[in-house]
Amino acid sequence: MSAYEIPLKPKGQTFTIALAGVTYNITLFWNRAANCWMINIADAKSVMLVAGIPLVTGLDLLAQYKYLGINGSLVVQTDFNAAAIPTLTNLGSESHLFFVTG
């Protein structure tokens, strides 16, 4: 098993990243009503694959989307408190998003 931390900042962002050899467009945004960070994943041609997944700890964010063929898991972990969800200000510093394969 190997884990790769996806570098993030505590602000809305869109970027392109290769995960398990496949290029994806990732958008992260703060959902004020839900009070949490959300992630959208699109393919390299910007076709939306999945939208509005909340960044919560303790589970594979992609578990219910295995049919998409993304060969790995997305996992959120927060320093000092494994159950704490990322806050508006700690994403990328104390709260981390990992892509895990194997």
Averaged pLDDT, 74-101: 96
pLDDT at 15 (0 to 100):
98
**Considering Cα of 37, then 90, then 15, then 73, what sign does the dihedral take?**
negative
Averaged pLDDT, 41-51: 97
**DSSP calls for 71-83:** -SEEEEEETT-TT
Residue type, 47: V
pTM (two decimals): 0.94
Secondary structure letter of residue 46 according to DSSP: -
